Amino acid sequence: MRHAQGELLTIDVTDRTASTEPIDERLAAFVGGRGLNTRLAYDRIPFDADPLGPENRLFFSTGPMQYSATSFTGRMAATAVSPLTNGLVSSNAGGFLSRNFTGAGYAAVELVGASDDLLAIHVREPDDDGTPTVEFEEVADLAEAPVPAVSDRFEADRGLGPEHVACVGPAGENRVRFASIMTSDSRAFGRGGLGAVLGSKGVKALTFDGDADAAIDIEWPDDAGEVHREAATSDSIMKRQGTTSVTELANEVDALPAYYFSERSFEGVSGISGDRVEEKKYKKGTCSQCAFACKLPTRDEQRGIETEGPEFETVMAFGSNAGVDNIVDVMAANKLCDELGMDTISCGDVVSMYLASEDEFGNAELVQSVVEQIAYREGVGDELAEGVHRAHEAFGVDDWTVKGMAFSGHDGRKLNGQGLAFATANRGADHMYGEFYPYEYPLVGKDEALEPSGLEGKPPKLVEKENRNAVLDSAVICKFSRGIVTDDRLAALLDADYETLIDLGGRIVELERAFNNARGFDRADDTLPYQIDGFERALSEYYAVRGWNDDGTVPGYSDGEVVGAADD
């Protein structure tokens, strides 16, 4: 099985030291990316770690596909205990960082400890004798600087542009629980608050600088070239509208959350649709090596707003869910979140929650003000920075989260399989963990489509989807490769049987679950704020397919030890 190459670089932020160790067995067993990070986190983070304490560890890694030149591979993974969910969370980001990270020569980088002084950490290729080349720079002048200013600083001082930088904005420094780690200025390790973890360590930014083309020479099968050609020649609507191409479909089938989840369609959808986004798109946008080019550089000259996006989830959170029907207002919120370093989904949902409590739906100026207050923890923003789960009671509204994570779109009240996927996901109410919604709109062919209502027969398919996505996150391959990176091609790219890969994905999901079990998670956390007929029966079936206990715990788990499928 193909896997990432190199050692683990451990950076102790407290002592300002760096050391390396071989992790060949871990790489062979878990490939890279999310799988590798999960194994390392399980081994090295105390089960009782405070997410914002120095004992939490933050892992970055790529996978074997970052050594290739094929499409859908401009991504990398980050993992830590989440300050938002209190469980293990992995997130991945696109852009152009992954090749520079790979070129620095490490399979994974781990941060532990915390600094009293604000730091930037610069990682380059090791010396000829293998000694890590890691520089610690005090950057007090960058305190609460927005993300573009951080990139500008390192480009001016070190010739390292945004594609070399992973950083936090003011939100990360202020430990907003849904703060993002940003790279390439507008790409985010978004869900789960990993920006708050980095900020809690006193780290403003990391830079990675190496020659990715010279890092590893691997012979790839013809499938890699076929993937790249199909990405280039595809006529997918995503090339014009990104994920916002689904906005009006979601609205038509009553799966578009609106007015802080009180409704499932939005009468102002035409003002925030994919067509409106396409009208504002002014050039192509992509990630490293990818010919699919589905990103959305957008601009409104009248208001002087230029951003990347918004994607569908941002349109939902800052548009329909906030009662806002003007795409330029959504663009403005998107831009602000990128600059301040916050997940647009969680931020948009918590702002929508606040609008509901104040009866201010549609007030775009208030939205902008509250977003800034959250990032700097000023006024009402201080409480909202804790997220929906922790703040909802104070505002007298319902808790629209799973495991503390705010919902993305694709409403599970209509798309019932996606509802189950929100509940079972180890990281909470995120649409990409199980990614079941394409079968229920449907966005797939008739032979794969499923009825949106009901849960009969869906748990086994959900298990396979979660497992396959864990493999994609470990390779690392973009999930928008759907239909191009087929099962056969995925197996060829990773040089393994497809069944072996699905088993690997199951081990990753199970290891995440076992870590969260050790932190007190069980069936009681696999819940939804709404009812779906047959939900409890389907949840038990899901556990049975995975071979877990009916209480949502991994069998053989005791005091943090796991036997069975989660072992190497």
Residue with tokens 């983070």: 45
Look at residue 500 and tell me if it is in a domain.
Answer: yes
The answer on 422 and 400 residing in a single domain is no
The answer on 421 and 398 residing in a single domain is no
Stretch 346-369: mean pLDDT:
98
Residue with tokens 């922790």: 390
pTM of the model: 0.96
Domain final position from 406, 432, 458 = 406
Confidence (pLDDT) at 129 = 82
What is the pLDDT of the chain when averaged over all its residues? 96
Q: Which of 221, 198, 19 is nearest to 93 (CA)?
A: 198
Give, as one character, the DSSP assignment of residue 121: E
Give, as one character, the DSSP assignment of residue 221: P
Stretch 162-170: mean pLDDT:
97
The answer on 462 and 420 residing in a single domain is yes
Residue with tokens 């980095």: 198
Q: Classify residue 312 as left (phi > 0), alpha (psi -120 to 50) or beta.
A: alpha
The answer on 394 and 428 residing in a single domain is no
pLDDT digits (tens, 9 = 90+) for 34-43: 999 999 999 9
The answer on 477 and 396 residing in a single domain is no
Confidence (pLDDT) at 364 = 98
Confidence (pLDDT) at 156 = 97
Q: Indicate if the pLDDT at residue 390 is higher than 90.
A: yes
pLDDT digits (tens, 9 = 90+) for 220-268: 999 999 999 999 999 999 999 999 999 999 999 999 999 999 999 999 9
Q: Which of 243, 263, 257 is nearest to 410 (CA)?
A: 257
- Which pair of structure tokens corresponds to residue 383? 């409480």
Look at residue 567 and tell me if it is in a domain.
Answer: no
- Which pair of structure tokens corresponds to residue 218? 């691997």
The answer on 186 and 73 residing in a single domain is yes
Look at residue 568 and tell me if it is in a domain.
Answer: no
The answer on 187 and 105 residing in a single domain is yes
Confidence (pLDDT) at 568 = 52
pLDDT digits (tens, 9 = 90+) for 199-208: 999 999 999 9
* HSE of 201, CA atoms in CB hemisphere, 13 A: 33
Q: Which of 45, 157, 555, 82 is nearest to 346 (CA)?
A: 82
Look at residue 565 and tell me if it is in a domain.
Answer: no
Total domains in the fold of the chain: 3
Give, as one character, the DSSP assignment of residue 180: P
Domain that holds residue 397: 234-406
pLDDT digits (tens, 9 = 90+) for 105-131: 999 999 999 999 999 999 999 888 888
Cα–Cα distances (Å) from 101 to 215, 242, 329, in that order, read 10, 26, 35
Look at residue 228 and tell me if it is in a domain.
Answer: no
Look at residue 125 and tell me if it is in a domain.
Answer: yes
- Across 191-206, b (16+ Cβ under 10 Å) vs e yields bbbbbbbbbbbbbbbb
Q: Which of 431, 157, 450, 394 is nearest to 316 (CA)?
A: 431
- Separation of alpha carbons 108 and 78, rounded Å: 10
Q: What angle do CA 103, 472, 447 make, to 5 degrees?
A: 150
Q: What is the CATH number of the domain that holds 376?
A: 1.10.569.10
Expressed in angstroms, the distance from the first to the final Cα of the chain is: 14
Confidence (pLDDT) at 317 = 98
Residue 124: phi and psi, rounded to 5, are: -125, 175
Look at residue 167 and tell me if it is in a domain.
Answer: yes
Domain final position from 406, 431, 462 = 406
Tell me if 505 sits within 8 A of 469, measured CB to CB.
yes
Residue with tokens 């020649």: 233
Stretch 36-64: mean pLDDT:
97
Q: Indicate if the pLDDT at residue 445 is higher than 50.
A: yes
Q: What is the CATH number of the domain that holds 187?
A: 3.60.9.10
DSSP letters spanning 26-85 = HHHHH-SHHHHHHHHHHHHS-TT--TTSTT--EEEE--GGGGS--TT---EEEEEE-TTT
Confidence (pLDDT) at 556 = 81
Confidence (pLDDT) at 563 = 42
Confidence band, pLDDT 50/70/90 cuts, at residue 211: confident
Confidence band, pLDDT 50/70/90 cuts, at residue 566: very low
The answer on 439 and 354 residing in a single domain is no
Q: Crossing angle of helices 33-44/498-518, nearest 10°?
A: 30
Confidence (pLDDT) at 565 = 42
Domain final position from 158, 188, 215 = 215
Q: Indicate if the pLDDT at residue 559 is higher than 70.
A: no
Cis before 476? omega within 30: yes
Counting residues of the chain whose pLDDT is more than 90, the rounded percentage is: 95
- Separation of alpha carbons 453 and 440, rounded Å: 8
The answer on 307 and 402 residing in a single domain is yes
- Separation of alpha carbons 297 and 285, rounded Å: 6
Q: What is the CATH number of the domain that holds 504?
A: 1.10.599.10
Confidence (pLDDT) at 562 = 47
Instruction: Report the side by side order of strands in the sheet with 181-183.
Output: 133-138, 119-124, 203-209, 165-167, 181-183, 187-189
Look at residue 227 and tell me if it is in a domain.
Answer: no
- Across 394-422, b (16+ Cβ under 10 Å) vs e yields ebebeebbbbbbbbbbbbbbbbbbbbbbb
The answer on 146 and 21 residing in a single domain is yes
Partners of 124 in the β-ladder: 133, 209
pLDDT digits (tens, 9 = 90+) for 450-488: 999 999 999 999 999 999 999 999 999 999 999 999 999
- Separation of alpha carbons 75 and 77, rounded Å: 7
Cα–Cα distances (Å) from 194 to 10, 443, 542, in that order, read 18, 31, 29
The answer on 176 and 53 residing in a single domain is yes
The answer on 373 and 323 residing in a single domain is yes
